[in-house]
Structure 1
Amino acid sequence: MKIKILILAISPIVAFLFWIYLKDKYDKEPIHILIKYFVLGILTSVLGIIVERFLIKINILDGMNLIIYTSFIVAGLTEESLKALMLIPNLLKEKYCNEKLDCIIYSVFLSLGFATVENLIYILSESNELVLQVSLSRAIISIPAHIMFAITMGYYVGKYKFEENKFKRREYLIMSILVPILLHGIFDFILIIKFRWSIMVFIFYIIFLWKINLDKLDKYMEISKVRFLRYIKHRQRK
């Protein structure tokens, strides 16, 4: 039974890893470097668990204040800031990160490493009666949400890394951390609040996340394509 549960927890992660890997069509990143960022995500998740447990332990809030605290501080701020602290310094010195799309690819690999630990904890601690339901809901909602936050972070890190204007660089750096925190916090807030209207708002919010982030991904994929075609033309002229 444990093997089946493990497969339920890991299989959506593997599927999304292949999905994002295939998005990098023209200048693929080395597998061992991608694995490195996936492992960094696992380590970040372990650290996140420690910080989140501490924040929950010291909490003195209740009611709506508790929901806001849990959504934006315990979840959003902790998880996304830790991801950023692990991702950004490594990407700035990563020699294989030579175009904006790479920042999204590495960001998603790190985030899926993070989601792997989280998924295992949720699914392995669930009862046998609910394990399939929980694993499916996480595969459809929670794991893709981590990917969307990662695309946002990678998108702005890409702008930061390859921007020469120091004032814009500062702006992009702030946005690479702040925007994922806000998106993550709103996601958890709507999920936790459980008002009558919240399910409809949550569905629209999920659609919104997919739309804006897949547009960001497509934008950088197109830039990668143009860059690759220019490289081919340059080689042909020699």
Structure 2
Amino acid sequence: MEDPIEARANESEDLYDVASWEPRTALDNVAVGMYRGASWLVRWTLVILGVAISGLVVVGAAGAFIIDNPFILGLAVLSVVPAGLLALYVYVTDVTTKEPATLIAATFVLAVFFAGFAALINSEFSGLQEAGLVGLVLFYFLIVGPIEEFVKLLAVRLYAFRDDRFDSVVDGAVYGAVAGLGFATIENLIYITGNLQGSSAVVTTLAVDTLAQFTAAVEAGGQITAVRSLAGPGHVIYSAFAGYYLGLAKFNREDAVPIILKGLLIAAFIHATYNLLVGIVPGIVKLVVPGVPDLVLFFGFVVVYIGLFFFILYRKLERYRRQYHAVSEDVEDPAELEPELTEFDADATAAPGPDDLAGD
């Protein structure tokens, strides 16, 4: 949208401070510097708080136990193998330039750190779960789903999104998937550790050698590791959807906020619906088909539910791939496929509120 003066004026006319603006004077530069400085401060404050809160959550819940039983870390790694493979799939389906390892690693680490915010908020509202079905619906759809998807998206927005190597819509899905993997990793570690702490069957510190420790850890944590291995891919899929729309917003600046909100709503809804139904559907099926082990019912539900939304994600990524190849067929110069970098300012910064998520 342009001001009437700017729309009708000749291009040769200088409309600075009349109907257009760019930093020219010392005061202009001071204002820009204050804006960028405040944005830098907000970003680093979030990172420091995330590190502190996540550290307290992990150390407070299980720090000493993990030190005494280091093989728990191995179980946590095993539990995210399916999620890691799914994130790798999203990565390799990116038909544009491949994403650099630095941005991938930073997104993963930020998601691990920011998981602490979600854990803190979830615990504050966990009492809703005691209010029956209505309480569960409120807890999952208003707290868990939106908060967890927001912090994962924030892990993408805070760093990778600002880099000019985030240069296509589909890059958002890649970084979203990586953020989901980071979140699943720390969440699985906490779940597995908590489960083993509550079990009196295993005290791995009494094992006399490394092999005995490993065997004891696997025997004690095998079931929870298997359960968490099926929960992890969900995080990757949910945040891949949200990330895709974040990428779409980067190249559609005028409608950026609604686009991002659409992605968050989709991700939060899929996430919350899973959390709600996973505790209901297997029980209903068992009433109809008694005798089926609970773990089998759980696996069956997860495979069907996650498989459905993986297929939808696959269709979305495949459509992007087809369109990309379609517009590439008649292009002789690869430079013609470069993104319109004028549509966004990779160096600009903003506080990470809703407008910040849309871009600067």
Question: TM-score by structure 2 length?
Answer: 0.57
Which runs of at least 4 in structure 1 moved beyond 6 Å after TM superposition? 227-231
Alignment equivalent of 1:177, drawn from 264, 276, 286 = 264
Aligned-residue offset at 1:10: 1.2
Aligned-residue offset at 1:61: 5.1
Q: Does 1:53 align with 2:99?
A: no
Q: For residues 87 and 70 of structure 2, what CA distance do their matches in structure 1 show?
A: 21
Q: For residues 107 and 100 of structure 1, what CA distance do their matches in structure 2 show?
A: 11
Task: Summarize the alignment of residues 106-117 of structure 1 with structure 2, pairs less than 5 Å apart.
Answer: 106-117=175-186
Distance 1:170-1:73 versus aligned 2 partners, 3 A rule? closer
Q: Secondary structure at the match of 1:119?
A: helix
Q: Does 1:207 align with 2:307?
A: yes
Alignment equivalent of 1:152, drawn from 216, 241, 245 = 241
Aligned-residue offset at 1:99: 0.7
Q: Does 1:6 align with 2:82?
A: no
Unpaired segments of 5 or more residues in structure 1? none
Cα root mean square deviation, aligned: 3.0
Q: Secondary structure at the match of 1:192?
A: coil
Task: Summarize the alignment of residues 1-238 of structure 1 with structure 2, pairs less than 5 Å apart.
Answer: 2-11=69-78, 12=81, 14-24=84-94, 26-56=96-126, 59=128, 62-88=131-157, 90-127=159-196, 131-139=221-229, 141-163=230-252, 166-167=254-255, 169-193=256-280, 195-197=283-285, 204-225=304-325, 233-234=332-333
**Which of the pair has the greater relative contact order for Cα pairs under 8 Å at 6+ separation?**
1
Contact preservation (8 Å) 2:108, 2:179: yes
Q: Deviation per CA, 1:139-195: give whole Å up to 9, x if none.
A: 1x211101110121122112211125x24x343122011111111110100012354
Q: Secondary structure at the match of 1:196?
A: helix
Distance 1:92-1:28 versus aligned 2 partners, 3 A rule? closer
Aligned-residue offset at 1:130: 5.1
Q: Secondary structure at the match of 1:74?
A: helix
AA at the equivalent of 1:218: E
Distance 1:193-1:159 versus aligned 2 partners, 3 A rule? same
Distance 1:179-1:193 versus aligned 2 partners, 3 A rule? same
Contact preservation (8 Å) 1:123, 1:131: yes
Choose between structure 1 and 2: higher helix proportion: 1
Q: For residues 92 and 26 of structure 1, what CA distance do their matches in structure 2 show?
A: 16
- How many residue pairs get aligned? The number is 232
Identical-pair percentage: 22
Unpaired segments of 5 or more residues in structure 2? 1-67, 197-216, 287-296, 337-360
Question: TM-score by structure 1 length?
Answer: 0.82
Contact preservation (8 Å) 2:87, 2:236: no
Q: For residues 146 and 249 of structure 2, what CA distance do their matches in structure 1 show?
A: 20
Aligned-residue offset at 1:113: 0.9
Contact preservation (8 Å) 1:155, 1:216: no
Contact preservation (8 Å) 1:71, 1:189: yes
Q: For residues 84 and 257 of structure 2, what CA distance do their matches in structure 1 show?
A: 34
